[in-house]
Amino acid sequence: MYKYFLVARNTWDETLAYRLNFVMWRVRTILQLLTMYFLWLAIIPQSSSFLSYSRDLMLTYILGTSLISSLVLSSRTYEVGDNINNGTLSNFLLRPINFFLYHFARDAGDKAMNIFFSLGELTILYLLLRPPIFFQTNIETLLLSLFAALLALLLYFFINLLLGFIGFWSPEVWAPRFIFITILTFFAGGLFPLDILPKPIFSIIELLPFTYLLYFPLKIYLGQLMLSEIFKGLMISGFWTVIFYFIARLVWQKGLRIYTAYGR
């Protein structure tokens, strides 16, 4: 297992090798966060609510998406498609290393970096802005929320691998990914909490895997879900995670059969 730890650590070091790039990326993240924050601050007047969300719940949701997405939505798996197309995938196939675990370790390194800096930034922002934030104090709720986020992390990982595996059949791996990202930002609840949508639409979205990436763990954190709703959600997201894992494995095995290792 130590080898996968090394992969994670190397990924961390690699990110830090480009200092300017790194700083700019963090600045971008903070700016995005501030934009959303001030937008909602302006929309909801003090001590009133907007579509059943009070001001502090909404602001917690917005700041929370930033933290959860640094845990769930940060990934290096976009490299997989390129690896296949330029033949560097051979490097993994030649060594006794599990490709899925290798990339998971790489993601872990990336995520650790993300969370580390996100937490730091959020703390600073909190101290500067003193926003009205809702703190969940129930340990059980917190743990459930964390568990939902970990499940989301796995789900997102397998979906991303699958998008990369398109590379086995087509060199055009980026177009499907862009569509996916566009769909994702909306359906995962990265822009606003999804339950402000009309009920019929929401009940369909609820069955899709995307909802469980951001919206669901945050909803648990805010304490707005009943235990039965939480379990239903965990079932659905667990179901999708298992499904995507098996599809990813199947596609990986099929893909290897037609892998040509060209370019190297």
Supply the minimum distance, in Å, between the C-beta of residue 14 and other proteins: 5
Q: How far is the CB of 87 from other proteins (least distance, A)?
A: 9
> Would you say 6 or 175 has its CB closer to other proteins?
6
CB of 163 to other proteins, least distance (A): 22
Query: What is the 3-state secondary structure of 75-143?
Result: CCCCHHHHHHHHCCHHHHHCCCCCHHHHHHHHHHHHHHHHHHHHHHHHHHHHHHHCCCCCCCCCHHHHH
Neighbouring residues of 263: CB distance < 8 A, sequence distance ≥ 6: 85, 86, 87
CB atoms within 10 A of CB 20: 7
Nearer to other proteins, 56 or 79 (CB): 79
Q: How far is the CB of 7 from other proteins (least distance, A)?
A: 7
Q: Provide the 3-class DSSP secondary structure of residue 173.
A: coil
Judged by CB, which is closer to other proteins: 78, or 259? Answer: 259
d(CA 113, CA 68): 13
Q: From the CB of 91, what's the least distance to other proteins, in Å?
A: 4
Residues that bind other proteins (CB under 8 A): 2-3, 6-7, 10, 13-14, 17-18, 88, 90-91, 93-97, 256-261, 264
Task: Identify the three-state secondary structure at position 252.
Answer: helix
Compare residues 14 and 195 and give the one whose CB is closer to other proteins. 14
With respect to other proteins, which residue has the nearer C-beta, 35 or 91? 91
